[in-house]
């Protein structure tokens, strides 16, 4: 399809001051065949009323969906998808602004290969546009994600080529409607999680590609200005732990699961003990709860694993070796990231350990 309809889905929670600028940038983009779907996750800042006033002239392009409470991004995105009509789905965070050619360049890449399921835009920092936020990630051999670029790395064009990635961030990603349906959409048991979806897209026979010419600017750390610090800790530690473990159980082959999961669990347990003895009781508790959630819900996870493995069309060997989606990573790398994250990381999407 030459000029497919693109459905742009944005989840909002008490962030209209960010969302307004995001919408303004979208309306300036150079591709005309699109719709915008705003899902409001139980905000108290009158987001939807303000949209109707501030974007009265462009409201024909905008659909809104009001949820009574914060269901989290994963389930909210699935609900938005149900009212979307596009052949291509674009997910954005409300704290992003887009380059005018962001859609056009992504669509050009989609048209080169019908097996492309997901495209990751180049994410640059909104307030330092010469610095990288995210350009994709791979899976480390210990079961943790390994970003391809360092956060804050100067963008010198060193990642200006198309390459395979394990998954894309919803701050700036495209997915074909067919790939999204075939992969089973977002798992509602995740409050927020893109890695699981991206992995399942690969297992269903598609490819996930980084597109350097599709550029999105992302405002790092905006979440800390919206959510309560204790809830933010819960998002990072509980959901981070829960999601990592569940994703490995669902998507790894039996051989790799037996090899990786015990080490992965041991590292989470060790981290929780370290936090306990250094006085970070809330963080420690949330990690233990994340581990425990997987044991309590193991039967449900194994049922989902059965479906994922049944639909698998590619082996782990093909995925990790031939497609080069796994990278050997020393434990010291994650220890360094964790120690630094204690100073800086405030949102779940930036939490790698």
Q: What is the DSSP string of 172-238?
A: EEEEEHHHHHHTTS--TTSSS-SHHHHHHHHHTT-EEEEEEEEEEEE-TTGGGGTS-HHHHHIIIII
Pairwise pLDDT comparison (72 vs 127), residue with the higher score: 127
Tell me the angle at which helices 254-277 and 331-344 cross, rounded to the nearest 10 degrees. Answer: 50
Give Cβ neighbours of residue 302 (< 8 Å, ≥ 6 apart): 249
pLDDT at 345 over 90: no
Q: How confident is the model at residue 340 (pLDDT cuts 50, 70, 90)?
A: low
Confidence class of residue 222 from pLDDT cuts 50, 70 and 90? low
Q: Determine the average pLDDT of the residues in 72-90.
A: 95
Q: Mean pLDDT, to the nearest integer, of 41-56?
A: 91
Angstrom CA distances, 199 to 185, 203, 305, stand at 12, 6, 12
Is 201's pLDDT higher than 50?
Answer: yes
What's the pLDDT at 348? 35
Q: Average pLDDT, stretch 46-73?
A: 91
pLDDT of 221 > 70? The answer is no
Give the DSSP H or E segment for 312.
none
Using DSSP's 3-state secondary structure scheme, residue 324 falls into coil
């Amino acid at each position: 399809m030459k000029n497919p309809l693109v459905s742009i889905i944005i989840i909002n929670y008490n962030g209209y001051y960010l969302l307004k600028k995001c919408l303004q940038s979208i309306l300036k983009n150079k591709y005309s065949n699109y719709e915008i779907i705003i899902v409001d996750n139980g905000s108290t800042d009158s987001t939807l009323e303000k949209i109707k006033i501030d974007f009265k002239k462009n409201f024909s392009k905008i659909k809104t969906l009001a949820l009574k409470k914060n269901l989290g991004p994963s389930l909210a995105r699935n609900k938005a998808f149900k009212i979307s009509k596009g052949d291509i789905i674009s997910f954005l965070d409300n704290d992003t602004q887009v380059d005018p050619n962001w859609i056009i360049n992504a669509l050009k890449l989609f048209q080169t290969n019908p097996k492309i399921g997901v495209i990751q835009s180049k994410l640059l920092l909104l307030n330092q546009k010469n610095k990288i936020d995210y350009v994709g990630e791979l899976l480390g051999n210990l079961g943790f994600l390994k970003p391809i670029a360092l956060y804050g790395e100067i963008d010198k064009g060193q990642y200006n080529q198309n390459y395979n990635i394990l998954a894309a961030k919803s701050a700036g990603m495209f997915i074909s409607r067919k790939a999204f349906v075939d992969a089973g959409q977002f798992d509602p048991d995740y409050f927020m999680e893109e890695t699981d979806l991206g992995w399942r897209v690969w297992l269903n026979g598609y490819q996930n590609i980084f597109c350097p010419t599709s550029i999105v600017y992302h405002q790092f750390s905006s979440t800390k200005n919206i959510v309560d610090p204790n809830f933010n800790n819960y998002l990072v530690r509980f959901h981070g732990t829960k999601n990592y473990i569940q994703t490995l159980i669902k998507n790894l082959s039996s051989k790799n699961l037996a090899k990786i999961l015990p080490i992965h669990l041991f590292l989470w347990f060790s981290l929780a003990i370290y936090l306990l003895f250094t006085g970070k009781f809330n963080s420690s508790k949330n990690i233990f709860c994340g581990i425990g959630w997987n044991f309590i819900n193991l039967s449900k996870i194994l049922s989902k694993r059965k479906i994922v493995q049944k639909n698998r069309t590619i082996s782990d060997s093909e995925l990790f070796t031939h497609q080069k989606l796994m990278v050997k990573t020393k434990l010291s790398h994650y220890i360094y990231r964790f120690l630094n994250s204690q100073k800086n990381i405030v949102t779940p999407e930036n939490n790698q350990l």
